[in-house]
Every structure is written in C-alpha cells, then in structure tokens.
Amino acid sequence: MSTQVEPLATTLPARYYTDPEIFRDELERFYCESWVCAGRADQIANPGDYFLREVAGESIIVTRDNVTGDNDQAVRGFYNVCRHRGTRMVTSAEGKFSGRIQCGYHGWTYGLDGRLIGAPHMEEGSGFCREDYPLNKVQAAVWDGNIFINLGPQAGPLEKQLADLPQKFAPWRMQDLRLHKRIVYDVKANWKLVVLNYNECLHCPVLHPALNRLTNYLGADNEQPQSTYIGGAMGFRGGAETMSLDGKRRRDYLPGLNDEERQKVCYYCIFPNFLLSLHPDYMMTATLWPKAVDRTEIIAEWHFHPAEMSKPDFEANDAIDFWDLTNKEDWKICELSQAGIQSRAYRPGPYSNRETLLHAFDQMVLAREREAKKRDGR
Amino acid sequence: MSTQVEPLATTLPARYYTDPEIFRDELERFYCESWVCAGRADQIANPGDYFLREVAGESIIVTRDNVTGDNDQAVRGFYNVCRHRGTRMVTSAEGKFSGRIQCGYHGWTYGLDGRLIGAPHMEEGSGFCREDYPLNKVQAAVWDGNIFINLGPQAGPLEKQLADLPQKFAPWRMQDLRLHKRIVYDVKANWKLVVLNYNECLHCPVLHPALNRLTNYLGADNEQPQSTYIGGAMGFRGGAETMSLDGKRRRDYLPGLNDEERQKVCYYCIFPNFLLSLHPDYMMTATLWPKAVDRTEIIAEWHFHPAEMSKPDFEANDAIDFWDLTNKEDWKICELSQAGIQSRAYRPGPYSNRETLLHAFDQMVLAREREAKKRDGR
Amino acid sequence: MSTQVEPLATTLPARYYTDPEIFRDELERFYCESWVCAGRADQIANPGDYFLREVAGESIIVTRDNVTGDNDQAVRGFYNVCRHRGTRMVTSAEGKFSGRIQCGYHGWTYGLDGRLIGAPHMEEGSGFCREDYPLNKVQAAVWDGNIFINLGPQAGPLEKQLADLPQKFAPWRMQDLRLHKRIVYDVKANWKLVVLNYNECLHCPVLHPALNRLTNYLGADNEQPQSTYIGGAMGFRGGAETMSLDGKRRRDYLPGLNDEERQKVCYYCIFPNFLLSLHPDYMMTATLWPKAVDRTEIIAEWHFHPAEMSKPDFEANDAIDFWDLTNKEDWKICELSQAGIQSRAYRPGPYSNRETLLHAFDQMVLAREREAKKRDGR
C-alpha cells in the first residue's frame, strides 16, 4: 500500500548534499544528539571485550563492564582520550582489555567503568584528585542485541527513539542471532543518499536485475512514515523463499516467525544510521558512518541463528554474495547521484508515487533543521 | 616582427596564480562564459556517438543528433544530470548511445535532442509534464572540425570569438584532418602559465635543445595581439621541413597550402583553452582543462590527413615523439614556475622584448577581470 | 633536580594543536622570524655545494660562496625563486653548482653571492638594471658546524638566540663531527607535541623498555628553562656507557670531554626546531619541519668523530638502530596525542612534577603569541 504524494513533491536542494556546513550541522543533530547503532552485543560478549567506533570524527570505545544482573546494563561507551595529556589510548579496532584501560604514553590507568585508578607521579602534586579525571562517558544502551550509543549530554532514552519497533520486531529475536560476516564499503556519497536509495524499489528493475527476479518492486507494503524511522515489507515472487542468488532458502526459518512473517523481508531505516533488513532466515544490518559531506562508510553485516551456524552444512554465501552484489550496485548509483547533484545544472526533481518514504525522510531532515535553528536562535 | 614592450612590463602578481577565489572567477569568466574547444567533430562521426568533457567541474555530454542537412548543426551539448533525482547518467569517457540517453537509476530516458521521452511511474501523479524536464542544454558549434561549447546562458555566436581566424586558417582545411593520437597530461600549474609558456620561444635555447635545432627562436613572426587570441608563425632552419625528431617531413604537405604556408608553423592560442599548432603536414592541438588554481589537465592531439593515414608506410611517431618530449619539458617548467610564484619572495619580474604576447595576454586577463567586476558592481 | 610546578599546571587548549590559523601564525613567529637549524656545514664543504631546505612552504637554497678567511662566513641562503618570471630554479635536494646558479627556463644566471650576472635579451629594453634583480637573500650563520637560517628581514644575531649554549657545549667540539646517517620521518602530529615528547622521560618506562634499561627516567637533571631553549642531562645505569642497543660504547669518547661529561647525555631543545642529543661518543640531531598543523617532518642525523669513522671496525648501527626504534615509538605516541587532542572530549590535563620543562615550553609559546598580538595591535 503506497501513500499518495501531494503533486510534485521534489528532491531536496543541492546544498543538503554538498554544503560542508550543513553536513557538520547534520553530524551534530543526527549523529551526536541521536542514538546511533554502533554494533552488536555479541561482539563484546565478555567483560573487557571492546570495539572502537568512529562517530563524527570521534573515536569511541564500546566495552563491557563487570556487572551482576542484566547483562545489557554492562555495556559502556567512552571517548578514546586519556585525561592526562589527551592521548588516544586504544588503536586496535577490537580486542580485550585485561580488566583495565591503560594509556600507552605515561601509564594512566582506568577501570572498565571509566574511573581513573592509576596516574604515575601525579600523587606528589597538590590539588590533584583522581576522582576529577574519569574517562569521558558516552551513553550506551542495547535493544535486542543491537548496541546504540549517544554522544549527546542530554540524551533521552533509546526507547523513545525506537517507539513501537521493539514490539514489532520481537518475533525475529534479534538478540539470539550471531555475526557471521562483515563487509565495509567506502561510498563517495552523502549519507542521506544512501538512506534514499534504501527506501525505494522503483530503481530495482533498472539497477538490480538479480534482485528483481525475487521480489515484486511494485509490491512494497510501506508503513506510514514515523518521526524516527521509515520502512516497509516486501513479499517474494516466482517461488523465492528468501533473498539469495537463486531465491532458495538454505537455512531454517528463524524460530519465532509465524506464517505471514516467513513470507516477507522487512526493510527499515531507523534514523539516522541503522538499515535493518529482516529476512525469514537471517538478518542483514548496515550502519552508516558519514566521513564527509560526500563520503560515507557503510558497515554491512550478516547475522544468523546459532543453531544454523553450528550445522556442518551451514551455508551463508548465497545471502552474502547476493546482497554484496546488490549493495555494490546501490553504492555505485549513490555515488553517481552525488556527482550529478553537485552540478550547477541540478534542480530538485519530481518524486513519483513510488518514492513517498523518501519524501517523508526529506521532510524529517528539514523539520530537524528547523527545530535546531529555532533552538539556536538562528 | 616583434612589438616593443613599454619599459619594464612585468609579470602578474602572484595571486593570479595562487588565489583559489580568483581561480573560481576565472573559471566562470573564461571557461563557462566563453566558447571552449571541446574536441573534434570526427570523434562523434555518427548520430549517437558521444564523448564526455569536464568543464569547470561540470560533466558535459557532447553528442550528435539525427538531423538532415548541415552536419555541423547536429552537434549537441548536455549537462550529464538526470532531471529526476540528479543522477550522473553517463560514466564512460566516450561511446555510442543507441538512439536515446537513459539514466541507470530509475530509467528516465531522453532523446538525442534532450527531450524527456520516458519517465517510469511518473504518469500517475498529477501536475507532471514531460515537457518540463528536458536535459539541460549547453551551446555547441563547430569550426572546421573543431567543436566548441559554451556553458553561458547568454552565449554570443562562436564566430565573434573566432574573428578572422576562419579565413586565416582555411587553407589548412582542418575539417578534413583526422585524429591519430591523444596524450593527456596532468600539469601542476595554473592554466595561464601554460598559455604563457606556449606563446614565447625565448625559453627554447635553454629548455628545448631538440626543438631549437629546427627553428630560429628569434625569428617568431608574431601577429598584433587580438582580444580573443594571440599567436604567430615560425620558420624552419637548417633544412628542416616540419617539427619532428630530425626535422624531416614524412608526409605530403597538407593539400591546400601555398609555398609560403609550407615554410612555417602557426602557433595560436585561442582564448581561453585552445592551443592550435598548424604544421605543413599535420596539426597538433592542445586543450586546457583547469582543475585547480595550481593544476591543469592538458589534452594534446595529433591530427593528420586521411590520405596520408591510409598509406601503408604512414608514419607519425616522428611528430608525436618530438612534441611529447617538448611538451614534457614545457609542463615541467610550468610546474616550477607555479612552485616559485607561490613563494613569498616572488615579485612580478620584467618581461623582455621577446615576451610581448605574454604581456598582451596578461593585459587581456586584467581587462576581463575589470569588466567582470564592473558588471557585478564590485 | 626537578623544579616544582605550581599546582595543576595543565596542557594547552586543543586549538594550539588543531587550528590552522594558529599554526600559520606559529610558522611565522617560530620558523620565519627565528633562527632555525637547517643542517650541517660539512654537507656543503666546498664552494658551490648546496642543499635545499623547505621552511614554512619556502624552498631555500643553502650554499657556500667563495670567500677568503673565516669559512663559516661563506654560507649563504637564498630563496629558490628566479627574479625573471618567478621560476623555482633548483630541484635536486642537494648537489653542486658549477660556480653559478642558472634558471632552467630562460637562462637567467646568478653568482654564488646572489648577484644577477646574466639575463638573455634583457639588455635591449630600457630601464632594466641587473643590479635590481639579485636573488632574495636569507640570513645564514654557523655555530660549531650547525647551520642556522633566518627568513626574518629583521633577524637579530644568532648568538642572542643561542645565549650560553656555545660555551656550555664547546667541549663536544661539534664542528669536528661528521654526518654518517640520516633518517627522515613523516609524523602526523603538531610540531609542539614532538618538542613536548622530547623533553620528558616520564613516558620512558611505559613507552621505551629498551631505553629505560640504560637510563634512570627519574634522574633527569633539568636546567632552569630559558627563553630560547630547554634541556637537561641524564646519567646511565646498569653499567651502560652510551645510548645503544646494549648500552655498550663501541667508539672512543669524544676528545674534549672530561669525566663528568662522559657520564651523561645532554638533551636540549633549541627553539623552535633543533633537538640536540649529545652523547659521550656521538651526536644525534633532529630538526623539525612543520608541514601542517597536524604534520611534521623530522630529519634525524647521527654524527661521529672522523677519527672513529676512519677506523676499519667503525660501528654505528648500535646507536642508529637504538634511536631509530626509540624515535618510532616516540613519533607514534605523538600521533596518538594529536588524534586524541582533536577530540571534542579533550580538555587540558594536569602536568606532573616530571613535566616541568613542558610547562615552561607551553608558557613560552603563549608568551610569544601575546607579544605578537601586542605587536600587531590585535
């Protein structure tokens, strides 16, 4: 079911894709003051496990503290900056702390909760208190195995941003799934062009002949756009049972799904950076990491059920290769969009009825800009 | 015959070679609002043939439409930007359209005249008219086989810019010549330094020992500088008959030349980007494509008469290798000029009597700047 | 003996390491209006020998003129810019002029004293005087074999900047030492972070396990900070006799040293760019060449006594490899400091009593900034 666009809704002016100042503002608004999906809880299964994530130029340590009780409460985020002379402490993209985080310059040492527990030769000076120099914290929270972080000092709860999604996607039991494959793409396009590309299948017949055999591009069942996410579901055609090179399903259905949920793929973009593609038998996620007004790093991951992964004949390449091919087609066309929009000849062009989610996303972008300007008195 | 420079005419201040703002203004003035030579008509001999040219950061499609009558009227220029969502449509540097230009994203399709002839799923919306979304046009015109384009919306006729050149160079019958070889150079120097280098041979004894054997560097017969071009002719010496590694001529004289025209090479710079070197037996062209205040792409091409090219013993390397060597010597010294002028120690230096064309070019650059500032009320 | 820092002296605000404008100002203040160490007199032993040095984006020719009398008076510095059309003349990093410096474009020719002695075809014009077009000079001076240059038009004498250092280091007889090895490092850190790193050994136990075995990091005997330099000496431990991979000394003591001087290494930073490490049996120098606010080229050199170098069993790798390893550890941590300080989470952090020289350097940086602003009326 597609919603009617009002006559001649158009794409945004070029500056939203080319102006470094708007980009910097959007980084603040969308990537520093919102919850962004940083990765998966199973990447840091045990206390001291960590990974680094770069958000808006900031290196963030995501790690797991020692806590009793609810495991999701143990996930922590810290700026990767020593409080002594500002040194970046951690350089490996992932690893395990042996109970403490130590700076390699002068040996300042922090607990997994960020407290400063050692500062060689600082004792002698007067006026120095260890308690004044904990690591700078970043808010962290977990939804069904997906870790979100928020750099904003006034971060509201993640639940508000997720709205009804936890209930909607509970049957997929994302917290049970495990990472099998990660591919990182470097895309020379503004992050919003990637979102626009993800949220319509009008381009599928022209751009994705392989995908188009498995799914009816006119059959997207889009939800009414929400203020923090957009998305919808698409069914299969021609006997396909999942998105794979041949449409065949080589893994059991995910355990919690009913008949209706087994017949579709849910494609949701949870603003600003989480592209969630829930398949009957696996989950693909993509997180967007804007590097410049015209460059975005995309981390795509394929997650499967551990029961399947432990089978001797477990296969995943049908799903990975299919989407890797499709992703590359998409990123290439995003780069061409970026290149064209940079032209002086570009003018906002008309959206069709098949691009209503994109118009909704654009309107959200403009609304957030208006709010920010109002707040800042601009 | 050289014109007397008034006492101590000097080179331009450094900012004309180093200031990105002046560079951007010059791109507008000289590359967007003038006719620039884009290539040759024989590159797009048949309807649908095309090549891309990047002008001032803009990707321009140059193609040939289906028309009856004067073939030169069929050359078209378009911005490489789809009117739907702004996607760059064409990515190969040259090729052939099968009668239409299609965007690879959602399949919008245009005729070779730029009219929108297909826009999938746009019919359904109200208020949409195909006629409102043709490709954005760029003016195109042809002079004796040389294609010129003009991005300016108020482009005057090419003829005005060419002045008396068509009459002057008619004997060389450039429209009959055909491309044999292209070499693209990436030169780390401002485009004007390349023009300056091209228009004097005072540097020949020091920089070009090979060239200096063939021609008398003091014997340049420079024309009175014009507002849209500068240039002159040079004769041979020591028995040389053309510019080649050994001065030997391995091809018949071009058919239209008289005795006097057979004894010289004409070196003309048609502002802003066309360096035309007419030899007794071939034509070398170079077009300048500024990429940054300190970087210019130069496309050099060697064109010959088809009667020669069809001979079994046709040879061109004597001419190509000679100029390729000379070009590289020239581009290298242009890069060193750029490097030196960027120094705080640089001050405008004195031109000699052998550099009068350069002074004329500099004065034209300043005059055009004054006009533009006056027009813009600056 | 370490000086007491006042309570909670802290590191500088981030902008001193990240703001391109402050960087440009510091280039002027510290690298253009001070004496910077450019290299060694033995690199240009004979008249016409030269090397190039890039200072603040300027290519400077350092050469030796023909003079009678004091050899140190023969060292000359020139901007590498021809006075005709501004061409950079010299491109090889080092070499020998055959009595004159000639521009490769139009053949303008200068003496080793910078006077213009040839300008082809300039005679004919009126109003041209050769005397008006000498090469632009840079002040040059020599201290015990170390060449300093000063781009400032109002350069005071080098002696004022060196203060009591010539007397202090006379026993090492630096003018007798000869270059054996040069290693150039490209470090992605602000130049001041390299100075800070050089002037404390608090980091030695954590960062330099090899170095820490040879010297007691708590035993630095720092001098009272001076306005143009900071430094101090460190003794050996565990039987070490010099800084080398195993602490063994494979060369005779430098001839002029007394017993006390044989038991220590002097580490001095002579502002802004000269790191002088005087060992009992060799000298290591490092000169800093800022390339960007976050990038510094470091030229490290190892110099030995010629009597040692002429021995058949002369060995130097113990000293070179030791410091190359240590240098790389240092540059890496400087890069991590740069990365961390760029974070929005960075705040000036507290210095310990072991970092008093650093605080003095920071205060000098701030004082010079205040002076400059006062002078410029800002």
Instruction: CATH number of the domain at A172, please.
Output: 3.90.380.10
**Best mutation target, C55, C85, C121, C149, to test chain B (most B CBs within 10 A):** C85
Q: A12 vs chain B: nearest CA distance in angstroms? A: 9
Question: What pLDDT is stored for residue C7 in this prediction?
Answer: 65
Pick the closest to residue C271 from C292, C293, C287, C285 (CA basis): C287
Q: What local confidence, expressed as pLDDT, does residue A72 receive?
A: 85
The verdict on a CB contact (< 8 Å) between A352 and B82 is: no
- How many domains does the structure of chain C reveal? 2
Contacts of A347 in chain B (CB under 8 A): 83
One domain, residues B303 and B343: yes
Average pLDDT over every residue of C311-315: 97
C-proximal residues of B, 1-20, CB under 8 Å = 5, 7-8, 11, 14
Using one digit for the tens of pLDDT, what is the confidence trace for B292-318? 999 999 999 999 999 999 999 999 999
Task: Please write the tens of the pLDDT for every residue from A80-102.
Answer: 999 999 999 999 999 999 999 99
Residue A16 CB contacts under 8 Å (≥ 6 apart), including other chains: A22, A190, A192, A365
Cβ separation of B341 and C84 shorter than 8 Å?
no
Smallest Cα distance from B7 to chain A, Å: 44
A173-177, B92-96, B190-194, C215-219, range with the lowest pLDDT = C215-219
Reported ipTM exceeds the 0.90 cut: yes
CB of A344 within 8 Å of any CB in chain B?
Answer: yes
Q: Does the beta-carbon distance from A82 to C349 stay under 8 Å? A: yes
Which residues in chain B touch residue A8, judged by CB atoms under 8 angstroms apart?
125, 127-128
- Does pLDDT of C4 surpass 80? no
Per-residue tokens: C237: 């431990």
Q: What is the pLDDT of residue B124?
A: 54
Peptide bond just before B272 cis, omega within 30 deg: yes
Task: Please indicate if any CB of chain A lies within 8 Å of the CB of C202.
Answer: yes
How would residue A4 be classed by pLDDT, with cut points 50, 70 and 90? low
Looking at A67-71, A338-342, C248-252, C333-337, which range is the least confident one? A67-71
- Quote the CA–CA distance of C304 and C176 in Å, as a whole number: 9
* pLDDT at site B70: 74
User: Are the beta carbons of B11 and C86 separated by less than 8 Å?
Assistant: yes
Give the domain-ending residue among C102, C131, C154: C154
**Residue C150 shares a structural domain with residue C172:** no
CA distance A81 to A102: 11
CATH at residue A62: 2.102.10.10
Instruction: For residue C153, give how far its alpha carbon lies from the nearest alpha carbon of chain B (Å).
Output: 12
Q: Which B positions 46-105 lie with beta carbon below 8 A of chain A?
A: 57-59, 79-89, 91, 104-105
A129 and B CB contact within 8 Å: no
Stretch C20-34: mean pLDDT: 97
Do C182 and C309 sit in the same domain of this protein? yes
Q: Which residues of B touch C105 (CB under 8 A)?
A: 203, 206-207, 333, 336-337
Closest approach of A127 to chain C, Cα-based (Å): 6
Judged by CB atoms closer than 8 Å, whether chains meet at B349 and C57 is answered as no
Q: Are residues A343 and A195 in the same domain?
A: yes
Distance CA B309, CA B301 (A): 15
Among candidates A5, A349, A353 on the partner chain, residue whose Cβ is nearest the Cβ of B84: A349
The distance of A62 to chain C (nearest Cα, Å) reads 15
Please report how the helices C317-341 and C191-198 are oriented relative to each other, as an axis angle in degrees rounded to 10: 120
Same domain, C298 and C332: yes
Asked if the Cβ–Cβ distance from C89 to B5 is below 8 Å, we say no
- Cβ–Cβ below 8 Å for C350 and A106: no
Q: Which of B76, B178, B193 shows the shortest CA–CA distance to B135?
A: B76
Q: Return the number of CB contacts < 8 Å for A and B.
A: 86
- Do C86 and B207 lie within an 8 Å CB cutoff? no
Same domain assignment for residues B320 and B208? yes
Q: Does B206 contact chain C (CB < 8 Å)?
A: yes
A258-272, B162-176, C65-79: least confident range: C65-79
Task: Please give the pLDDT value at position C1.
Answer: 40
pLDDT of residue B2: 47
Residue of B nearest to A3 (CA): B125
Residue B284 in contact with residue B302, Cβ under 8 Å?
Answer: yes
pLDDT surpasses 60 at A192: yes
Q: Are residues B141 and B238 in the same domain?
A: no
C185 and C72: one domain? no
Return all residues near B177 (Cβ < 8 A) that are at least 6 apart. B145, B254, B282, B283, B303, B304, B305, B306
* CB contacts, 8 Å: A344 with chain B: 58, 79
- Say if residue B117 is in the same domain as residue B147: yes
Given this model, what pLDDT does residue C2 score? 47
Q: Does the pLDDT at position C284 exceed 80?
A: yes
Neighbours of chain C (3+ CB pairs under 8 A): A, B
Mean pLDDT for each consecutive 10-residue tract of chain B (378 residues)? 63 98 97 97 96 97 89 94 98 97 98 96 78 97 98 94 97 98 98 98 94 89 95 95 96 98 98 98 98 98 98 98 98 98 98 94 97 90
Q: What's the pLDDT score for residue A1?
A: 40
Same domain, A147 and A170: no
Contact yes or no for A336 and B104 at CB 8 A? yes
> Are residues B125 and A14, on separate chains, in Cβ contact within 8 Å?
no
- Where does a domain end: B112, B131, B154? B154
Chains with ≥3 CB–CB distances under 8 Å to B: A, C
pLDDT at residue C327 tops 80 = yes
Mind telling me how many Å the CA of B165 is from chain C's nearest CA? 30
Last residue of a domain, one of B154, B183, B208: B154
Contact B105 A336 (CB under 8 A): yes
- Give the dihedral sign, CA A319/A325/A331/A337: negative
Distance from CA of B162 to the nearest CA of A (A): 27
Do residues C173 and C85 share a domain? no
pTM: 0.94
Tens-place pLDDT, residues A311-321: 999 999 999 99
Same domain, C196 and C236: yes
Contact A290, A27 (CB under 8 A): yes
Specify the pLDDT at position A217.
85
Q: Is B299:B287 a contact under the CB 8 Å cutoff?
A: yes
Tell me which residue in B58, B87, B124 faces A336 most closely, judged by beta carbons.
B87
What pLDDT does residue A124 have? 55
B136 neighbourhood in chain A, CB within 8 Å:
345
Res. A6: pLDDT tops 70: no
Taking CA atoms, B50 is separated from B44, B72, B301, in Å, by 6, 14, 18
Residues of A whose CB is below 8 A from B125:
5, 7-8, 350, 352-353
Domain carrying residue B6: 1-32+163-378
Residues of chain B contacting A345 with CB distance shorter than 8 Å: 58, 79, 81, 136
Percent of residues, chain A, with pLDDT higher than 70: 97
Q: What is the mean pLDDT of residues A281-294?
A: 98
**Is the Cβ of C205 closer than 8 Å to some Cβ of chain A?**
yes
pLDDT at residue C175 greater than cutoff 70: yes
Q: Per the structure block, which two tokens stand in for C108?
A: 């303008």
